[in-house]
Amino acid sequence: MTVLTAHSFRNIALIFLCLSAGIVDVIGYLSLGHVFTANMTGNIVLLGIAAGSSLQLTALHSITALSGFVLGVLLAVVIGGKHETTFWPKAVTRIFIIEVMILLLFALMTIFSYTQGAYFMLIILLSMAMGLQTAAARKLNVAGISTTVLTSTLANLFEDLAQRISHREKRKAPIQHVSLLRISSIVFYCLGAALAAYTDAYDPFIIIWLPISILGIIVITAAVKHFHQLK
């Protein structure tokens, strides 16, 4: 695989991770007590609303998701070890392996009936997986895409658009590759959310196998193609 093709794969992987984040967020919101398990900005807002409205259970859900996300980020730091400057740091593959294992555990738990305590464990597992994914995406450092937070991506996208409009020479130039990546990340996040919402009517958790499959393909491809050896 050439370096150019490797770059293409990395970009595609990030876009599909955005799709996964959209799926996970909708699973949390529709099936786990109206909580965001990927988008922590929205989750903090929900926590504030719950606190102001004396909604104790909603607040507990949000706190659980925040705690899981933080645990995921901290675990990624431990797994990550020393800083790597390679094209695809080895730590990224290790983090994705742990993430897919956590999502597999989540999927298996949803097959069987579960207690209220297990209900909170499901929230922790999903948000922990997204904390890991966010840390891994930051290590890849592509166009500022974290896969789970769209606010900064949206701001960067419209900043690119404003610059094209305000500079005549930029209007004639092809759309930047980075801008296309940002557009794709937003579209695929929304697509993931739509897919999860659609399948919720049939089985609220069956769609989790799509993010598991995506991560599995990413991990296997990265390992087989030795991306960590590229600079």
pLDDT of 119: 84
Q: Which two tokens stand for residue 184?
A: 């794709």
Q: What value does the mean pLDDT take over residues 186-201?
A: 94
- Residue 180's pLDDT band, with cuts at 50, 70 and 90, is confident
Residue whose C-alpha is closest to residue 106's, from 209, 217, 219: 209
pLDDT of 211: 96
Count of the separate structural domains present in the chain = 1
Q: Which two tokens stand for residue 95?
A: 């983090």
Exposed / middle / buried, residue 67 (Cβ in 10 Å: 0-12, 13-18, 19+): middle
Residue 102 has pLDDT above 80, yes or no: yes
Phi/psi at 210 (nearest 5 deg)?
Answer: -70, -50
Q: Which two tokens stand for residue 114?
A: 């579960």
The residue length of the chain stands at 231
pLDDT of 229: 61
Map tokens 């069987």 to a residue. 112
State how far the Cα of 150 lies from the Cα of 185, in Å rounded to an integer: 8
124-139 residue pLDDT tens: 999 999 999 999 998 8
pLDDT of 176: 67
Residue 171 has pLDDT above 60, yes or no: no
Q: Is 39 left (phi over 0), alpha (psi -120 to 50) or beta?
A: beta
Domain range for 35: 3-229
Dump the DSSP string for 190-222.
HHHHHHHHHHHTT-TTGGGHHHHHHHHHHHHHH
Q: Please tell me the number of Cα atoms within 13 Å of 84 on its side-chain side.
A: 21
Q: What value does the mean pLDDT take over residues 183-207?
A: 93
State how far the Cα of 215 lies from the Cα of 229, in Å rounded to an integer: 20
pLDDT of 148: 85
**CATH number for the domain harbouring residue 70:** 1.20.1250
43-64 residue pLDDT tens: 888 888 888 876 788 889 899 9
